[in-house]
Amino acid sequence: MNSIPNSAGFTLPGGKIGVLVIHGFTGSPVSIAPWAKFLNKSGYTVSAPLLPGHGSSWQQMNQTTWQDWYEQVEKSFLELKQSCDRVFIAGFSMGAALALRLCQIRGSEVEGLIVLNPSVHDRRWFMKYVPVLKFLIASVAKGATDIAAPNPPVHAYDRTPLKALDSLRKLWALVERDLYLIDLPIMVAYSVNDHAVDPENAMTVIDNVFSVDIREVVFENSFHNVALDFDVEQLNIESKIFIEDVLSGAVKRGSDFNENDLVNAEFDSIVSGLSLDQSSPTTYLDELDKFSQADRFRQPNPGKINLDQMQRFSAVAFVGSFTYLILFWLTDFEFFGVWPAVLGFISSVATIIWRTARKEGDLDDGASL
């Protein structure tokens, strides 16, 4: 079953400079087609693969992992290298995370990197529950596509598969951890009004890569999917200029600079913060050693809390209410509305706090007051 028309991957032959363009999570090459086609018209050979589990159904995507998506990206990269002398990588959203991962591993083989509204983390509180929710719920409904321009083409699923999302979380962790491995020229482009990926992701990339040439491009009129939005022309032109600047040598990778100068600068920075003044006869650590054991702070040792029947009942009500609220907000599940669950959640928390509060003088902190 194919729920996204014209979602097959494609390769557009051009010159000896190649560009690999990678689409995003639950999306397809339809989402980046205008961008990819412009780069091809500019004279570049362009490859836009369809990642496994995408372009068909969210059920099939739930059977894939980030390793499957990365394998396809790396395969397309190697195929592009066979016909091109120099290759650039461009990724959108999750595709940017995959592009970053490819450059963390094969950065010496890549000329430059373009990331568009990159996703390398999601700090929202409910993401922590995805590893559990994926066993209870197969998918959750998505909102309207995050594009400001009217009548965009169908390019992504209308539901988010949770097993695939949990795998994406693992990819994020690796990519964010290893951002320092990126030292090649990079263009970081992002929308200030992105409702799908927090623009803070772009700042994370800018602040943590080791690249010395970082080009920042900001879109004011588009939402998440810029290639299908009002700022697509700006995206196309900035991408072309960036690629031309890298090819001409106007921008360079970190390793092209004198590594010894960087090491010496770091060493000087460390040394400048040290003091060689030995005029003081004692140090702070020496003074600490003078304290007797009796004068040292002893950590409080609260007794074990035993729950009575009402506390146990409140704990069960707390878990039940919380689970119901999660299901109510993330799915179409509804049994008796939301307010009874909210009241049950609040009352159970209040009861637990009230019943477990210690009476004055119950805390044995090991010291005289």
- Residue pLDDT, tens place only, 81-136: 999 999 999 999 999 999 999 999 999 999 999 999 999 999 999 999 999 999 99
Residue 362 pLDDT more than 50?
A: no
Strand order of the sheet with strand 45-48? 10-12, 45-48, 17-22, 86-92, 112-116, 186-191, 214-219
The strand pair at 45-48 and 86-92 is best described as unpaired
pLDDT at 369: 41
Domain topology for 10-256: Rossmann fold (3.40.50)
For residue 361, count CB atoms less than 10 angstroms from its CB and return exposed for 0-12, middle for 13-18, buried for 19 or more: exposed
Q: Please name every residue paired with 91 in a beta bridge, in sequence order, or none if there are none.
A: 22, 115
Residue 255 pLDDT more than 90?
A: no
Taking only the tens place, the pLDDT of each residue in 257-280 is 444 444 454 555 454 444 444 444
Instruction: Name which of 145, 113, 139 is nearest 30 in CA terms.
Output: 145
Lowest-confidence segment of 145-149, 170-174, 212-216, 324-328 by average pLDDT: 324-328
pLDDT at 320: 75
Instruction: Name which of 345, 350, 351 is nearest 309 in CA terms.
Output: 351
Three-state DSSP state, 11: strand
Say what the pTM is. Answer: 0.71
| Backbone dihedral region for residue 186 (phi beyond 0: left; psi -120 to 50: alpha; all else: beta) | beta
pLDDT band at 319 (very low <50, low <70, confident <90, very high): confident
Percentage of the chain beyond pLDDT 90 is 63
What are the structure tokens assigned to 121, written together?
A: 């983390």
Lowest-confidence segment of 204-213, 296-305, 321-330 by average pLDDT: 296-305
pLDDT at 364: 42
CA distance 35 to 21: 9
Instruction: Name which of 338, 301, 28 is nearest 157 in CA terms.
Output: 28
HSE-up (13 A, CA, CB side) for residue 23: 28
Rounded to an integer, the average pLDDT of 337-360 is 66
Taking only the tens place, the pLDDT of each residue in 176-201 is 999 999 999 999 999 999 999 999 99
Residue 337 pLDDT more than 70?
A: no
Q: What backbone phi and psi angles, to 5 degrees, belong to 145? A: -60, 140
